[in-house]
Structures are given as C-alpha cells and as structure tokens.
C-alpha cells in the first residue's frame, strides 16, 4: 500500500521514487483524492531535491496519461511537432507550419494562448477574420491529410494533471524547477500524438530560462525524456535576450509572418525557421541532408509555395484569405506613435522582457487567463542588437487604443534600448543543437 506522506518523506530525503509511486500521486491528485497541501509539499521537495531522468520520465508519462491523448494515426506519414518555450516577437509557428507543409511534411500543430509577456499562436490567428481556432479531431485530421497542415487550440481534456499542477506551482514558488518544467512541456507533446519532436528552448531576458546554461540543461533533459518515451526528439537552444522578430503583438505578428513568407522577413526569424524547418524535414524522412532540406525551404519561400500553403490553411479553417494581400482586414489600433532615441549609437542591449510587458499592458497580452486581448495593439521595433540608431530615425512604433497608455509606453520603449558609441556585433540566434547522440555548441556566440 502506498501512502502520500511516505512519498513526500522519501523525496524530501533525496531518494528516488518508483514509477508506481509517481503514478499513484498523479492519478490521486487529478481525481481529487490527494489535496493541494500534500501536492504542494511534494512539489517543494522536488524543487529542492530534484528528480533524475528516469523519475522525470515517469512523471511525464503519468501526466500525459492523465487525460485524453490525441490519435494522429489517421494522418498519412510521419508527424513532427515543434514546441517553443516562449518568448517575445516569436512568430515562428506562423511561418514554420506552412513552410514545412509546402515541402511535404504533415504539419499537425496544437498551439496555446498567451499568458503574461509571451504571445500565443491561437490569439494571433484570431486576428484573421473568421479563422476557426478550435477544430474537432476529425476536422483536424482531415485538414492535415487534405492540405498538409492545420493549427488548432489544445483540447481542454489534454493533460489535466499539468493544468492542476501548474496552477499549484504558480502559487507555491515552484515554477522554476527543471524536472517540473520538463515534465510539463513534454507531457503535452507526448499526449499530442506526434511521432517526432523538435524543441526550441529559449534563454535570456525575454525567456523563462535566463541563462544559456539553464536552457541547455532543460533542453538536454527534455531530449532524454522524449527519447525514453519512444519519440525521437531534437532540441535547439536559442537566444531570447532580445526580441526574435520585429513585431510584438497579435495582428502585427500575422503581418510579419506573411511578410516573411513573401521573402521580406528579418534575418533572425528566417534563420531560426530554416534551422527548425530543416530538422523537421530530416526527421520526417523527406530529405537526408540538411543543406538539401534548407535549400528546399528557401526555394519555397522564393517561389511562393509556402505563402500559398498559408493561404490554404487560412481558407480551410474559415478565415479570410484576402489578409495575405490586404492587411487592412486585420484589427488595427486607433493611435500610432513613432519613438526616437535620445541620442545615437550602436544598440548594445534590448530589454525583451520590458518590451513584452509593455505590449501586454497596452492590451496585447493577458495578466490573468480570463483577460481579454486587444488584437490590434503592439509594438513594431525597427532595430536589433548591433544595428546603428540615428537620432532622427525611429527606433520603434507603438500601436494603442488608449491615448494614456500610448503616452506611458513611450518611456518604456525608449529605455528598453541601451546604446553605446562603440561597435557592437550582432547576436547569434542559435547557440546549440542537442540530439539523443550529441550536443553541438556553436563556437561563435555573436555574428
């Protein structure tokens, strides 16, 4: 017979838990038989004592089995999922899904909504008039088989253990535990039904993991969990010390994604999409060499096939495909204001977190899950680290529906950019690639 206090005591003393103990704990908590105060004690024990790879895998699998699991077996071919740990101006999914689908990979993507300073793909897609973000499993499968891609919101019954545990972690100061973060992310990926998984683990001011070392440790653990669970998993450790793209908002991130597929994307966003996309093509077996896969992605941006695929996704999910050419159909802000630097010089740092929080307070994000989002507001930035800022040229443009918030945001945006008179090199977006066999660290951290 298993008793909860004994499990807590065991973990408190740093001993390894068995699969049966972990499964008992998760099942009992989801079914309401184990109270919050006992689970909170367990989470704090894990926070201080940690879990080894095997324990974390047991926890991940128990969480993945706590609700319904998505069956993608009716979708033809190998299904490759991509997950980002979240960041600022991270429009990757909106570019990547049509891009890889245009090269023959079945892209079945379940995405979430934003909370706090990180944007949610589903919120961005709701900027498109008529776009249906909630598909039944049959609709989801049918769209992927017919046009090669679909993006839908996560089922409410997917991994209920994670929803309960995350809410408890949030109020018990146990969020920043690597085993708990890894099991939270990977349980959703495993329950999502994909055959292979590509992870984008971010670090820096705008990310949850603040240092490269923390993000690398998390990425290594998630790759091991994925492989132990029978899902070939590859992770990239990427920079979020500054915004990834140039748009921070919802409708404007849709615009940036469209422009990227038209061949006008910022080099950082394009580089990351090509890297993640190449890996997805390789894992799906569409290509054998990375260079060949990357060239196929570049060609489909150049010849317009990737953009056409985005148009097909929008139309298949009830959206107005005319937004591809007519951005006036997207939600717009009432007020816009361009922001200029106080002096000139090279941009040394950009506070991605401050910009993300500013956009959130303008209405582009949620402070609480029940908050409504203003789809038209946000911030366009015109410069990245290493660029030269001139006094008479704007750094950014603020979009707002409240004049008081607009005026407040000016100082926040200007002070998010740190300038220097000395030359500053541009930052690398990708710092490491981690597979089940090797860790490739990029020697040059700036470019």
Angle at 208 between CA 203 and CA 211, to 5 degrees: 35
> Average of pLDDT values for 115-119?
60
Question: Could you tell me the pLDDT band of residue 116, with boundaries at 50, 70 and 90?
Answer: low
Fold of the domain built from segment(s) 80-324+430-441: Pyrimidine Nucleoside Phosphorylase; Chain A, domain 2 (3.40.1030)
**How many CB atoms neighbour CB 176 within 10 A?**
13
* CATH class of the 4-50 domain in this structure: mainly alpha
Question: Could you tell me the pLDDT band of residue 179, with boundaries at 50, 70 and 90?
Answer: very high
Question: Could you read off the pLDDT of 278-321 as tens digits, one per residue?
Answer: 999 999 999 999 999 999 999 999 999 999 999 999 999 999 99
Q: Which of 14-28, 109-123, 184-198, 223-237 has the lowest mean pLDDT?
A: 109-123
Give the Å distances, CA to CA, from 141 to 136, 344, 352, 410.
Answer: 9, 53, 37, 45
Instruction: Give dist(CA 265, CA 261) in Å, integer.
Output: 7
Compute φ and ψ for 71, nearest 5 degrees. Answer: -100, 105
> Average of pLDDT values for 24-50?
96
Residue pointed to by tokens 């200029």: 340
Question: Could you tell me the pLDDT band of residue 447, with boundaries at 50, 70 and 90?
Answer: very low
**How many CB atoms neighbour CB 20 within 10 A?**
10
Position 269 scores a pLDDT of 97
Question: Could you read off the pLDDT of 134-173 as tens digits, one per residue?
Answer: 998 899 999 999 999 999 887 778 899 998 998 899 889 8
> Average of pLDDT values for 14-40?
96
Residue 2 confidence (pLDDT) above 60: yes
Q: Give the DSSP letter string of 237-261.
A: EEE-SS-SSSEEESHHHHHHHHHII
Query: pTM for the complete prediction?
Result: 0.91
Q: Which of 131-140, 240-249, 351-360, 364-373 has the lowest mean pLDDT?
A: 364-373
Q: Which two tokens stand for residue 60?
A: 């991940």
Instruction: Give dist(CA 204, CA 99) in Å, integer.
Output: 27
Residue 388 confidence (pLDDT) above 70: yes
Highest mean pLDDT out of 104-108, 180-184, 307-311: 307-311
> Average of pLDDT values for 234-242?
96
Q: Where is 228: in which H helix or E strand?
A: helix 212-228
Question: Could you tell me the pLDDT band of residue 5, with boundaries at 50, 70 and 90?
Answer: very high
Instruction: Say whether 331-420 and 80-324+430-441 share the same fold.
Output: no
User: Where does residue 171 rank: exposed (0-12), middle (13-18), buried (19+ CB within 10 A)?
Assistant: exposed
> Average of pLDDT values for 355-363?
93
What's the mean pLDDT when you consider all of the chain? 93
Position 446 scores a pLDDT of 44
What is the CATH number that goes with domain 331-420?
3.90.1170.30
Name which of 375, 128, 132, 129 is nearest 250 in CA terms: 375
Instruction: Give dist(CA 194, CA 67) in Å, integer.
Output: 16
Residue 371 confidence (pLDDT) above 80: no
Contact 245, 91 (CB under 8 A): yes
Residue pointed to by tokens 């950019």: 417
Residue 444 confidence (pLDDT) above 60: no
Question: Could you tell me the pLDDT band of residue 114, with boundaries at 50, 70 and 90?
Answer: low
Residue 115 confidence (pLDDT) above 60: no
Question: Could you tell me the pLDDT band of residue 443, with boundaries at 50, 70 and 90?
Answer: low
Residue ranges covered by each domain of the chain: 4-50, 80-324+430-441, 331-420
Position 370 scores a pLDDT of 67
Question: Could you tell me the pLDDT band of residue 369, with boundaries at 50, 70 and 90?
Answer: low
Highest mean pLDDT out of 119-123, 363-367, 373-377: 373-377
Instruction: Give dist(CA 59, CA 323) in Å, integer.
Output: 43
Instruction: Report the greatest alpha carbon distance in the chain.
Output: 73
Q: Give the DSSP letter string of 75-106.
A: SSS-BEEEEE---SS--HHHHHHHHHHTTT-B
Question: Could you tell me the pLDDT band of residue 415, with boundaries at 50, 70 and 90?
Answer: very high
Catalytic residue positions? 83, 162, 169, 184, 188
Query: In a 3-state reduction of DSSP, which class is residue 212?
Result: helix
Instruction: Give dist(CA 364, CA 358) in Å, integer.
Output: 9
């Amino acid at each position: 017979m298993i008793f909860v206090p004994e499990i807590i005591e065991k973990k408190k003393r740093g001993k390894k838990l068995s699969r049966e103990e972990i499964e008992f704990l998760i099942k009992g908590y989801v079914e309401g038989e184990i109270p919050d105060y006992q689970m909170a004690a367990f989470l704090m024990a894990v926070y201080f004592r940690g879990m080894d790879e095997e324990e974390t895998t047991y926890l991940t699998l128990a969480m993945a089995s706590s609700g319904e699991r998505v069956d993608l077996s009716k979708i033809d071919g190998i299904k490759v999922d991509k997950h980002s740990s979240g960041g600022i101006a991270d429009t990757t999914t909106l570019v990547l899904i049509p891009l890889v689908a245009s090269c023959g990979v079945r892209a079945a993507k379940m995405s979430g909504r934003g909370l706090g300073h990180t944007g949610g793909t589903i919120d961005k897609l709701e900027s498109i008039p008529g776009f249906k973000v909630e598909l039944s499993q049959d609709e989801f499968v049918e769209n992927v088989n017919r046009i090669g891609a679909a993006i839908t919101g996560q089922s409410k019954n997917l991994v209920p253990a994670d929803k309960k545990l995350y809410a408890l972690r949030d109020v018990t100061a146990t969020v920043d535990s690597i085993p708990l973060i890894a099991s939270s992310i990977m349980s959703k990926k495993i329950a999502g039904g994909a055959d292979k998984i590509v992870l984008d683990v971010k670090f820096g001011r705008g990310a949850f993991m603040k240092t490269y070392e923390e993000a690398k440790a998390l990425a290594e653990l998630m790759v091991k969990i994925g492989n132990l669970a029978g899902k070939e998993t590859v992770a990239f450790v990427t920079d979020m010390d500054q915004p990834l793209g140039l748009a921070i908002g919802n409708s404007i991130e849709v615009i940036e994604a469209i422009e990227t597929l038209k061949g006008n994307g910022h080099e950082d966003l394009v580089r990351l999409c090509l890297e993640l996309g190449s890996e997805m093509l390789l894992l799906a077996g569409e290509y054998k060499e990375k260079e060949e896969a990357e060239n196929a992605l570049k060609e489909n941006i150049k010849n317009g096939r990737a953009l056409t695929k985005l148009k097909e996704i929008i139309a298949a999910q009830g959206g107005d495909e005319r937004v591809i050419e007519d951005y006036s159909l997207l939600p717009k802000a009432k007020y816009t204001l361009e922001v200029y630097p106080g002096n000139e010089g090279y941009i040394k740092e950009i506070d991605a977190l401050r910009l993300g929080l500013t956009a959130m307070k303008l209405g582009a994000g949620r402070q609480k899950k029940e908050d409504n989002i203003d789809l038209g507001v946000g911030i366009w930035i015109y410069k990245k680290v290493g660029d030269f800022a001139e006094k008479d040229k704007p750094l950014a443009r603020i979009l707002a529906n409240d004049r008081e918030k607009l005026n407040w945001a000016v100082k926040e945006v200007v002070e998010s950019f740190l300038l220097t008179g000395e030359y500053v090199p541009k930052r690398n977006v990708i710092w490491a690639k981690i597979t089940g066999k090797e860790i490739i660290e990029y020697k040059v951290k700036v470019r």
